[in-house]
Amino acid sequence: MQNLRLNPNLLNVPLYVAGKPIEEVQEEYGLTEVVKLASNENPLGLSALALAAFEHALKEAHRYPALGDRNLRRKLATLYNARHIAEFTQDNFLTGNGISDILRMLFESFIFDGGETVICTPTFPLYRILTTQFGGKCIAVPHKHYHHDLLAMLDAITPDTRLVVLCNPNNPTGTLITRDEVDAFMARVPPHVVVVFDESYFELVEDPNYSNAAEYIQQGRDQVLLLRGFSKVHGMANLRLGYALGTCAMIEYLHHAQIVFNTGDPVFYAAMAALDDHAHIERVRELIAAEKRYLYDGLSELDLTYVPTAANFILLVDLPRDAKCLYEELLKRGVIVRVPAGFGLPDAVRISIGTHAENEKFLHALRDVLRNPNGKPIIHE
Ligand SMILES: Cc1ncc(COP(=O)(O)O)c(C=O)c1O
């Protein structure tokens, strides 16, 4: 690499550390039964209707993607108009290879010649990673009792701020920004700043006071973008699809950063079927709600402190043991969780809510680790 001219921005990019794959843990620890509660995936998987639509569309796999993108955007417009009494069209939507890809387009479009991003810490690491990749500066504002400190975030805005990212519910804390808080924020945010609402987990939110960023877009505020996707409730994390909702002018601008054919038609058709499978969505929501209560009870019994969540993951804080050590002891017992160090919280553990059997295995393993800190795992498969 010595003679090559490298991009100095890239050399400063922190690498994203993903949740450990099941097969890797099986190999490393010689286990057959391993559960993964590390990446906030949908424990019930993909809807059967979505799978059928995906398979059907595969017969055109030899062709370049055609109308899948447009058809999905039309469907989203119809859905949002029914829900919000709005007048969105397909031109209000932009699709990408996961929300991650939408974020990439967004940061490429707004972070250049030294622009700044304001985020909360802890939060989803990609915001910081992308800011650095595009040569910007990331201002991370500490959380207030695990919630976004919106007043401090407003204070952190400078003339160079291009983006403020509000992750709602926030990953890894699971906390919510309410409608009133959004209204107060939007009343004060300067017009030169793009406000990005990352709502990856919105379908799981039960609180009726959840924010409604779509209303600001409906009112024609170019500076507001709403990001949602198909990786969580729709169980399509491995198929890669996300979208942004914004004013037509904003979406048209972002199109310039889109890579052509970034997602295939089978994925778009799976997504359309997933949106129609209300029974599957309801099953997922019910499972997460019930298992959240089960985990809260189990954690309380163990005297552990957690942050109440609006999403499908729970953050354990003020741990009685070192987080990394707890993580490793759980791995030995066949349970993969996450230490959200890259999110800005090296002293916590985040667990995703799984099926009942997976959560039971996690609580058993956790009990074993806490009661038997120096011993060998007493739980066998
Ligand atoms: C807050 C947040 N944003 C974005 C993503 C990435 O989503 P996608 O799979 O659609 O790229 C995740 C994934 O965990 C997330 O938690």
Question: How far does the centroid of ligand 1 lie from the alpha carbon of residue 84, in Å?
Answer: 24
Question: How far does the centroid of ligand 1 lie from the alpha carbon of residue 227, in Å?
Answer: 10
Question: How far does the centroid of ligand 1 lie from the alpha carbon of residue 4, in Å?
Answer: 34
**78-93 pLDDT per residue, tens:** 999 988 777 999 999 9
* Residue 49 near residue 57 (C-beta atoms within 8 A): no
- Distance separating alpha carbons of residues 89 and 76, to the nearest angstrom: 8
164's CB contacts (< 8 A; 6+ apart) are: 117, 118, 119, 153, 157, 189, 193, 194, 195, 196
**pLDDT at residue 376 in the model:** 60
Q: What average pLDDT score do residues 267-282 get?
A: 98
pLDDT classification of 381: cutoffs 50, 70, 90: very low
* Residue 335 near residue 357 (C-beta atoms within 8 A): no
**pLDDT at residue 380 in the model:** 43
pLDDT at 172 over 90: yes
Burial 325-337 (b: 16+ CB within 10 A, else e): ebbebbbbbbbbb
- Distance separating alpha carbons of residues 81 and 76, to the nearest angstrom: 8
CA-103 nearest atom, ligand 1:
4
- Distance separating alpha carbons of residues 149 and 151, to the nearest angstrom: 6
**104-136 pLDDT per residue, tens:** 999 999 999 889 999 999 999 999 999 999 999
Question: How far does the centroid of ligand 1 lie from the alpha carbon of residue 100, in Å?
Answer: 6
CA nearest neighbour of 352 among 342, 344, 369, 340: 340
pLDDT at 178 over 80: yes
Structure-block tokens of residue 360:
């039971």
119, 120, 126, 200: residue to mutate for ligand 1 pocket, most atoms within 8 A of CB: 200
Long-range residue pairs from 256-260, CB within 8 A, at least 24 positions apart, any chain = 256/109, 257/104, 257/105, 257/106, 257/108, 257/109, 258/94, 258/96, 258/105, 259/97, 259/101
Question: How far does the centroid of ligand 1 lie from the alpha carbon of residue 368, in Å?
Answer: 32
Average pLDDT of the chain? 95
pLDDT classification of 370: cutoffs 50, 70, 90: very high
**57-81 pLDDT per residue, tens:** 999 999 999 999 999 999 999 999 9
Encode 342-375 in three state secondary structure: HHCCCCCEEEECCCHHHHHHHHHHHHHHHHCCCC
pLDDT at 103 over 90: yes
Lowest average pLDDT, out of 10-24, 143-157, 351-365, goes to: 10-24
pLDDT classification of 377: cutoffs 50, 70, 90: low
Structure-block tokens of residue 39:
């990446």
pLDDT classification of 379: cutoffs 50, 70, 90: very low
**pLDDT at residue 127 in the model:** 97
pLDDT at 378 over 60: no
CA-40 nearest atom, ligand 1:
14
- DSSP secondary structure letters along 99-152: HHHHHHHHHHHH--TT-EEEEEESS-THHHHHHHHTT-EEEEEEPBTTB--HHH
CA-123 nearest atom, ligand 1:
1
CA nearest neighbour of 354 among 373, 339, 340, 334: 334
**pLDDT at residue 375 in the model:** 60
- Distance separating alpha carbons of residues 59 and 363, to the nearest angstrom: 44
Residue nearest to atom 7 of ligand 1 (CA): 99
100, 167, 201, 233: residue to mutate for ligand 1 pocket, most atoms within 8 A of CB: 100
Percent of the chain surpassing pLDDT 90: 91
Distance separating the N- and C-terminal Cα atoms of the chain: 47
Q: What average pLDDT score do residues 308-316 get?
A: 98
- DSSP secondary structure letters along 284-324: HHHHHHHHHHHHHHHHHHTT-EEE--SSSEEEEES-SS-HH
Question: How far does the centroid of ligand 1 lie from the alpha carbon of residue 228, in Å?
Answer: 9
124, 199, 262, 314: residue to mutate for ligand 1 pocket, most atoms within 8 A of CB: 124
Higher-scoring residue by pLDDT: 378, 323: 323
Question: Alpha carbon of 72 to those of 20, 78, 92, 222: distances in Å?
Answer: 32, 10, 12, 22
pLDDT at 372 over 80: no
Question: How far does the centroid of ligand 1 lie from the alpha carbon of residue 44, in Å?
Answer: 18
pLDDT classification of 14: cutoffs 50, 70, 90: confident
Question: How far does the centroid of ligand 1 lie from the alpha carbon of residue 231, in Å?
Answer: 7
pLDDT at 41 over 70: yes
**182-218 pLDDT per residue, tens:** 999 999 999 999 999 999 999 999 999 998 899 999 9
Q: What average pLDDT score do residues 9-22 get?
A: 88
Q: Which residues line ligand 1 (CB under 6 A)?
A: 40, 98-100, 124, 167, 171, 198, 200, 229, 231, 237, 242
